[in-house]
Each structure stands twice: as C-alpha cells, then as structure tokens.
Structure 1
C-alpha cells in the first residue's frame, strides 16, 4: 500500500511535467477554464452541467445528443422541451440524452468506463432504424456533448479514452489523449483533474485494453 501511494505521487509529478512538455511540443495552451463548453474534435464537445442544461446553446452548436457521465447529476429540462405523449408511453426529450454514471473518485468498475465509451460511440454512429423509430430523434447525430458537473474530470476522462481508442494514429497513448482534451477544456496544467482515483483507473483500463486489441470493437458492423 505504501509503495502504491509513492508510485501514485510519482506518477502525478510526471504527469505535471508531461503537461508542460506536451504544451510546448504541440503548441497547445489552455483554453478558457471558465468556459461551460469546448469543442474537442471529431464532433465531440465536453462541458459542464450548465452547458448540458442550455438547450438553446446546444442547438446553436448543432449538438443533437448529450451523454451525462456523472452518476449524481440529472438535468431538469422544461416540459416544453419534451415531445410525445405520456398517455401513449412515448414522451421523451427532443434531443437524445443518455447517461452512464461514473463516481468522481473510487467506486467505478472498469466496465463502466468502457460502457461510457461505447455509448459515446453509439451516439456518433448512425443507426439503421425501423420505420416506427425514424422520426424519434434527428439522425445522424451532428455533434455530441459529454458532460459531468464541472466538465473537468469524468467527462474529460471518457472523451480522452474514446479518442485514444479511435485515433491511435494521432495519440500514441492514453496520456497524450488526456492532455489534449485537458488543453481544450482549459485545465492542461491542473494536476488535480481528473480526480486521482478515476485517473488511475482510466490509465489501468488503457494499459489493459490496448488499441491493438480493442479498437476493433468500435468498428464492428454485425
């Protein structure tokens, strides 16, 4: 246990150094850390709960799907933004909204991180729908918002893992993808995010399921 503690402290110091090296090598600087939402890449935005609740702003950014990765957060939208009928058991929000809840600390299973990545992949992938479902949501999805409370920890983690697995030619390892997303969210030099236990688990997932044997899962077309 003592070894693990010292190892993690050493790892965090190395990550802080990598932040500086990465920002110089790639010419990246922190975006505005007060921004509620930022574009990352590949139709993915990352933001906070305020961004998720602002349906007008989402519309302006052509965001037609939202993925909530905070287990202790639900967004209350005005009734006017729902469509369908309760009587017909068919009332839903007028944009796609999905949730895979992560704890910002300990308490997550590795499979939950993977489930969140797969959900993001589903939202970004056009669905082959039956006729009865074709008018439910806009298809294909234009852009996706991944959010949590602050948009600095859980959402950054999932976006980084997803980019690592789907853009292995751009990001040689998970750490590069993480630093890239952090730079876009304006928290590149903040060593406290993502939350250390969550960050450690994400690194373990990335080191266990390498892109060479896991990326194909995003390419399946059964």
Structure 2
C-alpha cells in the first residue's frame, strides 16, 4: 500500500550558514535542479559540490577531456570541484558511510589544489551539499558538519537539524522524513563514533595540524 507523502516547494538551493568559523565559507543545501544549474552556482560563488545521493548522477562536464571519444560517456572538466558520497534515502546505509560523508565534506574544504593545468578549479569558494530533493540525505550530512564544527552555535545534532529545516524552508508536515528517521539515528551514531575517535587522539585534531 502506497502512502501519499506531502511534498512542498522549496528553492533550488538554500543558504544554510554564512562564514563558518575556521572555514570562512558559506554552506548551501539544494536538490538536483540546483546542483545542475552552473550559472546559479557561479552567482553564489560555489566552487565545491558534494552529491550525497547514490541514485543521482549529474553531468557537469563543460570541457571534454582530450582522451574522450564516442560512444564514451562525457568526462572532462566542469565549473566546480565535484565530490560524491552515495547514500540511500532510507535503510541500507552503514553508519561508517554517514561518518565518511562528514569527513568528505570536511576534507573537500581543506584539500590543497595544485597549480597544474589539469586542475581547472583551484579557487576557494562556497560549498553546495545536495541530494535529489535537498531534504534528507544532504540535511543529514550538513547537520553533522554544523554540530561537530560549530558546537558553540549547534550544541546538539537536533539543533542543527532544526536550523536547516528552517533555512531550507522545509514544511513542518514533512519534518517526519526531513531527514528520514533512520538517517537521523545513523547521524547520532556517527557523531558518537567521531567523538570516540577524537577522544582516542584521532579525527579532527589530527587533520587540523595541516590547516
């Protein structure tokens, strides 16, 4: 039996937080249409895009690689740096993959891009985290990031989720699945895993020594 789930309109992308401490960037969350709009990304100085969806691929190639030939799928350079963590919007994700999403988001911001012609996008700009609708998987990863990176403002994971629901304009009638309950549960477990790693001397502190 299929249940009719309410869906409400929301912007292609939404500004979640500006000038994140220690990172000095703005974080956006969006859906597939926002992530696929190269002009919109440029308007918001978004140079990094993290796709959280395993069942969504976006062709952002603007300059085909010299090795490309038909009938190969397009590959080459795009207008942004593109990263992907393939999450399922529901059951089926290991908690380690949720934690990996946080670390991928964090690492994409601290990565040092070399001065080589094959690395087309080197400037540091803002980040867009997206999934198909920008209402569950992307919300989960960004909530973990805000809580762990800015605990003074977001002392709990739930406070970060509440903030994102407001900024992303998610209607209260859909909060029961924004994010999905199993993703929230995994997010709490991922935070506990990260906390344990830090207490053991690994994790954020180790990464920060090179920043």
Q: TM-score normalized by structure 1?
A: 0.74
Aligned counterpart, 1:38: 14
Question: Is 1:86 aligned to 2:67, yes or no?
Answer: yes
In structure 2, relative to structure 1, the CA distance for the partners of 1:137 and 1:120 (3 Å cut) is: farther
2:9 and 2:195 mapped to 1: Cα distance?
31
- Aligned partners of 2:194, 2:48: CA distance in 1, in Å? 27
Deviation at 1:94, TM superposition (A): 3.1
- C-alpha displacement at 1:128, in angstroms? 5.4
Aligned length in residues: 186
Matched, 1:139 2:128: no
1:102 maps to what in 2? 87
Q: 1:33 to 1:141 in 2, by over 3 A?
A: farther
Give distance in 1, aligned partners of 2:177 and 2:68: 47
Structure 1 stretches lacking a partner, 5+ long: 1-31
Moved over 6 A (4+): none
Q: Note the alpha carbon deviations across 1:185-219, whole angstroms, 9 max, x for none.
A: 11263222101111111122223433863542552
Give ranges in structure 2 of 5+ residues lacking alignment: 1-7, 21-25, 70-74
Which SS does the other structure have where 2:128 is aligned?
strand
Displacement after TM superposition at 1:174 (Å): 1.1
User: Could you say what the CA RMSD is over the residues aligned between the two structures, in angstroms?
Assistant: 2.5
Secondary structure at 1:100's aligned position in 2?
Answer: strand
